[in-house]
Amino acid sequence: MDIYVARQPILDRKMKLFGYELLYRKNNTNAFSGSSDRHATASLLANSVLVIGFDELIEGTHGFINFPEDFLIQQLPRLLPKKKIIVEILERVRPSHEVIEACRSLKRDGYILALDDFIFGRKGYEELINLADMIKVEFSRANIKDQIRLIQKYHGKKTFLAEKVETMLDYRFALAMGYDLFQGYFFSRPLMVNAKEIGYQQTVLIRILNELRQPDPDLDRIVKLIHADVGLTYKLLHAANTIQYGSKYPIHSVRQALARIGAKEMAQWIQIMMIKGFEHVENAELIKRSLIRGKMLERIAVMTKKEHDAADYFITGIFSSLDQILNQPMQAILTKLPLNPLIRDALLGVPNELKNSLAAVINFEQANWDKVRLFIEKNALTSKQFMSFYLSAIKWEHSLNEFDGKQPLPKT
């Protein structure tokens, strides 16, 4: 499935790129389509961080993202690195006590707050104005005298961003008035960024969220649930590779990724994906095949006395078709995932034990019996065992859609 994010550049007084405003797009039509603030922001976060990659979108600058009232109260901006994100407070946000306290907490911890589409003369907005580091004004629509008075009042205390700068005259006038940053069609229209989405099962998200809400979450159960969903496994590892979680060290398993992200943040990402809504999986057979490969490889690891590497074998299998699922080169995909170098090499075709085992499973799928036989003999297995790996993997994959939250999970 295709997903889209639009980004519009924001420039400083020297015409140097300061950052991008990231914008929700439902489809390839480059315009905002009717959607609630919650759904738009949840989709934007999921698509930007879990699919495309936040740092890739902002190119090492700053990312401006709108947050509705309840997302501010829930502290969702903390899912992103404070040095990279500008937290835009939507003009529809009410300056309630809860919102003020939430913004105060974010600001205290170093997050930059921006008031979006500033409304002049709005009563009860003083506390938010005082907290804000940046004020965004629709330059071509707001009264010029009001803008001048606002800039003079907070000169040196706030950063002012002129939105909807649509002509050279607008830009020169805004520059002379004292604006610090500029955004609008004069510089660039929002540009679309497209990527392939891997679907995930809403029922799995619900089960994980229920487990995370328990006083003592069962980590083993959560790992099994995540293993049951290729899309969710991919997104979890992708999230673990953001700056926020310190991605310089490779992740060897879903369990490590969970430990890096943390239960609270994992629950927040799950909620974001649930808000985004169920997406139809157009590549169901590819995903099914990937799951079977992962389970087969895990069984091979156990039977060849490599139990300690079973998680690596499993991930190698379930990610072996990512290039087809996402319609991207495998090399480009793997740069976004902090995987064990052995897994990365295997997926790129570099010979090692993981690659040899993956090749054996693929040869089995393609009925290349001579090659399968060589692998079996070299690893002291039997044809009967290899077939049992396949049959048990199929049974496991089928069982993923059959159990509910109260039934025992399929063994992994």
From the number of C-beta atoms within 10 Å of its C-beta (0-12, 13-18, 19+), residue 173 rates as middle
Q: Name the band, by pLDDT with cuts 50, 70 and 90, for residue 199.
A: low
Between the two ends of the chain, the Cα-to-Cα distance in Å is 28
Q: Residue 278: its pLDDT value, please?
A: 40
**Stretch 303-319: mean pLDDT:** 84
DSSP secondary structure code for residue 279 in this structure: -
Using the predicted structure, report yes or no on whether residue 201 has a pLDDT greater than 50.
yes
Mean of pLDDT values over 217-242? 79
Tokens (6 digits) for 403: 């159990």
- Average pLDDT of the segment spanning 304-314: 83
Phi and psi torsions of 267, nearest 5°: -60, -35
Sorting pLDDT into bands at 50, 70 and 90, what band is 65? Answer: very high
Model confidence at 405, pLDDT cuts 50, 70, 90, reads very low
User: What are the structural domain ranges in the chain?
Assistant: 2-195, 198-276, 284-399
Across 297-322, average pLDDT: 85
For residue 69, the Cα-to-chain-centroid distance in whole angstroms is 21
253 has a pLDDT exceeding 80: no
CATH 3.20.20.450 is right for the domain spanning 2-195: yes
pLDDT beyond 80 at 235:
no
Q: Is the pLDDT of residue 406 over 50?
A: no
d(CA 240, CA 261): 6
Confidence of residue 161 (pLDDT cuts 50, 70, 90): very high
The answer to whether 219 and 194 are in contact (CB under 8 A) is no
Confidence at residue 404, expressed as pLDDT on a 0 to 100 scale: 42
> According to the model, what pLDDT value does residue 410 have?
47
CA 338 to chain centroid, in Å, comes to 14
Lowest mean pLDDT among 327-331, 351-355, 373-377: 327-331
- What confidence category does residue 115 fall into, taking pLDDT thresholds of 50, 70 and 90? very high
Given a contact cutoff of 8 angstroms between Cβ atoms, the answer to whether 138 and 112 are in contact is no
CA angle 22, 99, 76 (to 5 degrees): 45
Residue 120 has pLDDT above 70, yes or no: yes
